């Protein structure tokens, strides 16, 4: 009469249409939101759509984070190439200028040469040569250091994509502006690529932030 | 139904009838036998989390735009230098950056730490003073090493102030940067990042921004660690004053060392 088995007394499945609990597989009356045996939430159609949207959003975030990492690596590689080209071509130009200047001063003693140099540049021959070579070395070293920093950020992005992307974005914008202050025409060179890099890094910052918030406990 | 049939037990959380064999309520998921749950509080916690996440992202975006604003301020000061002279550029640049920083600080209450007291006692400030000495020495050794490695003539900090009172050098190199840069990096940026990041990340990222804004790749190696130290002072003391004092001491020692190296008559010549 009360739905129990007269022989063993067990309650048996609920009357009416039922579904299976996704966690403990017990029978649950249709329309119930939670399993009465284990308390697990019975997903509704709206829950399934929400879960699908969350999964799609997560895929999008991970795609943006990975794209950010790729951008940082590409910038690092190109900066390293620029360092090499700047150093070798700069040094070649400087050595050429030194050879030409040497030819122009041929026949003069080293003291006379230093006096001539001081009249025009305020420096001795050796000081001028060291300065020119030093300028090329410094430029190459700066570009190489930047490449190393971007490579370190690419490596850091494996564990902390948000922090790495934000640092890379600030560094890239700063370096681009320094380049523009030294040579204003350089700002327009490759402006579309620069814009894409900034946009890509900005999305990586946003995606990295949302991923870290998703992983944090509520 | 006869009078002896007991009334089904109701869920203490939502009031719906509970079956005798159920361990949980099928309508709200509440466990039988546990005290009622404050649903309004649960919803509030969830809403607060969403608001915190959105506010945190707003803070990150504000940091990026504020940083770009400071960069453009630096660029504007360099344009002024081209048009006039370096002293006017320093003065004008300081004024432009100060305006940007004060505007940002006025719009962001996170710029000012909750404990607005001195932060440290006399002993703490004594340690800050003592710590400034080895820091300046390390930076000086690094700069000297760079100049030996790359023998390129560089301009003295005091070049724009030649022919003027030394007070200008101290004001524009030591006092103003200590106040405004600390307000910008350990005030505005630190406060905005702290909405969503832990103290370690906040200190590191604000130090990276501080180092980058000095627009010198070689000096990143000194300015980022200095920024970490200043950020740690801000976090430890809960006040901006210790980091302002430390920053002032560092810059003042640099100016004093430069004046001493160039000779007392150099500035007035």
Domain count, chain B: 2
Q: How far apart are CA B26 and CA A42, in angstroms?
A: 9
Judge whether B269 lies within some domain.
no
Chosen for mutation from B8, B19, B29, B184 (greatest number of chain A CBs closer than 10 Å) is B29
Using 50, 70 and 90 to split pLDDT, how confident is the model at B263?
confident
CA-nearest of B130, B140, B133 to B219 is B140
A126-155 average pLDDT score: 92
Instruction: Decide if A170 and B56 are in contact by the 8 Å CB cutoff.
Output: no
The per-residue pLDDT for B1 is 43
- Say whether both B82 and B137 belong to one domain: yes
Looking at per-residue pLDDT, the higher value among A203 and A104 belongs to A203
Judge whether B265 lies within some domain.
no
- Say whether both B190 and B110 belong to one domain: yes
Residues of B in contact with A166 (CB under 8 A): 60, 64, 205
- Say whether both B192 and B67 belong to one domain: yes
Looking at per-residue pLDDT, the higher value among B91 and B153 belongs to B91
Task: Pull the structure tokens for residue B44.
Answer: 């509030």
Instruction: Decide if A39 and B209 are in contact by the 8 Å CB cutoff.
Output: no
Judge whether B139 lies within some domain.
yes
Mean pLDDT in chain B? 86
A129-155 average pLDDT score: 93
Model confidence pLDDT, tens digit, residues B13-38: 888 888 888 899 988 888 888 888 78
- Say whether both B29 and B84 belong to one domain: no
Using 50, 70 and 90 to split pLDDT, how confident is the model at B6?
low
Mean pLDDT in chain A? 88
- Say whether both B17 and B120 belong to one domain: no
Is residue B198 within 8 Å of B120, Cβ to Cβ? no
% of chain B beyond a pLDDT of 90: 43
- Say whether both B9 and B93 belong to one domain: no
- Say whether both B144 and B28 belong to one domain: no
pTM: 0.84
The per-residue pLDDT for A200 is 95
DSSP state for residue A2 in the 8-state scheme? -
The C-alpha of A17 sits at a distance from chain B's nearest C-alpha, in angstroms, of 15
Chosen for mutation from A12, A13, A19, A34 (greatest number of chain B CBs closer than 10 Å) is A34
Looking at per-residue pLDDT, the higher value among A156 and A127 belongs to A156
Kindly give, in sequence order, each residue whose CB lies less than 8 Å from that of residue B209, ignoring residues fewer than 6 positions away. A170, B63, B67, B185, B189, B227
Of B19, B26, B152, the CB nearest to A131: B152
Q: What is the dihedral of CA B250, B255, B256, B259, to 10 degrees?
A: 160
Kindly give, in sequence order, each residue whose CB lies less than 8 Å from that of residue B43, ignoring residues fewer than 6 positions away. none
Residues of B in contact with A137 (CB under 8 A): 149-150
**Block residue for tokens 């681009």:** A176
Judge whether B169 lies within some domain.
yes
Judge whether B266 lies within some domain.
no
Instruction: Report the phi/psi class of residue A39: left, alpha or beta, with left for phi > 0 and alpha for psi in -120 to 50.
Output: left
Kindly give, in sequence order, each residue whose CB lies less than 8 Å from that of residue A63, ignoring residues fewer than 6 positions away. A207
Q: How far apart are CA A184 and CA B198, in angstroms?
A: 39
Q: Is B67 on the interface with A (CB under 8 A)?
A: yes
Residues of A in contact with B143 (CB under 8 A): none
Q: Range of B26's domain?
A: 1-37
The answer, yes or no, to whether residue A8 has pLDDT greater than 70, is no
B86-107 and B39-83 helices, crossing angle to 10°: 170
Model confidence pLDDT, tens digit, residues B139-197: 989 988 888 888 777 666 777 777 778 888 889 999 999 999 999 999 999 999 998 89
Please state the φ and ψ torsions of residue B78, each to the nearest 5 degrees. -70, -35
The per-residue pLDDT for A112 is 85
The per-residue pLDDT for A1 is 46
The per-residue pLDDT for B12 is 86
Those of residues 209-228 in B touching chain A at CB distance below 8 A are 209, 212-213, 215, 217-218, 220
**Alpha-carbon distances, residue A139 vs A180, A181, B190, B268 (angstroms):** 16, 15, 32, 34
Judge whether B199 lies within some domain.
yes
Judge whether B264 lies within some domain.
no
- Say whether both B7 and B112 belong to one domain: no
CA-nearest of B199, B200, B205, B210 to B60 is B205
Model confidence pLDDT, tens digit, residues B105-155: 998 877 777 656 778 888 999 999 999 999 999 998 998 888 888 877 766
Looking at per-residue pLDDT, the higher value among B2 and A97 belongs to A97
The per-residue pLDDT for A93 is 93
- Say whether both B93 and B30 belong to one domain: no
Q: How far apart are CA B169 and CA B150, in angstroms?
A: 27
% of chain B beyond a pLDDT of 70: 92
Neighbours of A170 (CB within 10 A): 23
Q: How far apart are CA B31 and CA B213, in angstroms?
A: 57
The per-residue pLDDT for B93 is 86
Judge whether B142 lies within some domain.
yes
Those of residues 81-120 in B touching chain A at CB distance below 8 A are none
The answer, yes or no, to whether residue A5 has pLDDT greater than 60, is no
A18-44 average pLDDT score: 90
Q: How far apart are CA B223 and CA B212, in angstroms?
A: 8
Those of residues 29-58 in B touching chain A at CB distance below 8 A are 29, 31, 45-46, 49, 53, 56-57
- Say whether both B20 and B97 belong to one domain: no
The per-residue pLDDT for A144 is 95
- Say whether both B251 and B168 belong to one domain: yes
- Say whether both B78 and B105 belong to one domain: yes
């Amino acid at each position: 009469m009360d739905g129990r088995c007269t022989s063993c007394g067990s309650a048996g499945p609920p009357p009416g249409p039922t579904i299976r609990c996704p966690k403990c597989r017990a029978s649950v009356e249709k329309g119930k939101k939670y399993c009465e045996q284990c308390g697990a939430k019975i997903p509704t159609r709206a829950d399934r759509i929400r879960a699908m949207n969350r999964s799609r959003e997560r895929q999008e975030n991970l795609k943006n984070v990975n794209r950010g990492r790729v951008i940082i690596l590409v910038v690092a590689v190109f900066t390293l190439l620029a360092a090499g080209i700047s150093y070798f071509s700069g040094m070649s130009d400087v050595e050429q200028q030194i050879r030409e200047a040497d030819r122009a001063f041929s026949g003069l003693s080293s003291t006379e040469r230093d006096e001539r140099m001081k009249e025009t540049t305020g420096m001795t021959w050796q000081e001028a040569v060291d300065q020119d070579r030093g300028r090329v070395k410094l430029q190459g070293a700066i570009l190489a250091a930047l490449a190393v920093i971007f490579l370190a950020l690419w490596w850091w992005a494996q564990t902390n994509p948000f922090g790495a992307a934000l640092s890379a974005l600030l560094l890239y914008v700063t370096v681009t502006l320094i380049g523009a202050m030294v040579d204003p025409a350089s700002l327009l060179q490759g402006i579309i690529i620069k814009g894409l890099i900034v946009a890509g890094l900005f999305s990586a910052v946003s995606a990295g932030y949302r991923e870290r918030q998703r992983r944090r406990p509520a | 139904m006869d009078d002896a049939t007991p009334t089904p037990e109701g869920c203490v959380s939502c009031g719906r009838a509970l079956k005798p064999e159920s361990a949980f309520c099928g309508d709200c998921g509440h466990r039988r036998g546990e005290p009622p749950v404050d649903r309004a509080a649960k919803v509030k916690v969830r809403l607060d989390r969403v608001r915190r996440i959105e506010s945190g992202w707003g803070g990150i975006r504000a940091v990026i735009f504020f940083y770009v604003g400071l960069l453009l301020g630096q660029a504007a000061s360099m344009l002024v230098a081209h048009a006039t002279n370096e002293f006017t550029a320093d003065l004008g640049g300081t004024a432009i950056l100060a305006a940007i920083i004060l505007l940002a600080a006025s719009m962001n209450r996170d710029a000012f730490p909750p404990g607005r007291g001195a932060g440290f006692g006399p002993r703490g400030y004594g340690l800050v003073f003592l710590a400034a000495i080895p820091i300046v020495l390390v930076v000086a050794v690094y700069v000297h090493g760079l100049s030996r490695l790359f023998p390129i003539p560089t301009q003295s900090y005091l070049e724009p102030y030649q022919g003027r009172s030394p007070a200008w050098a101290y004001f524009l190199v030591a006092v103003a940067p200590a106040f405004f840069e600390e307000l910008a990096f350990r005030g505005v940026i630190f406060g905005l990042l702290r909405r969503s990041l832990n103290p370690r990340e906040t200190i590191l990222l604000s130090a990276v921004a501080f180092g980058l804004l000095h627009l010198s790749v070689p000096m990143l190696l000194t300015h980022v660690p200095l920024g970490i130290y200043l950020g740690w002072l801000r976090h430890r003391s809960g006040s901006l004053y210790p980091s302002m004092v430390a920053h002032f001491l560092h810059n003042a020692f640099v100016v004093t060392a430069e004046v001493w190296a160039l000779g007392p008559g150099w500035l007035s010549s």
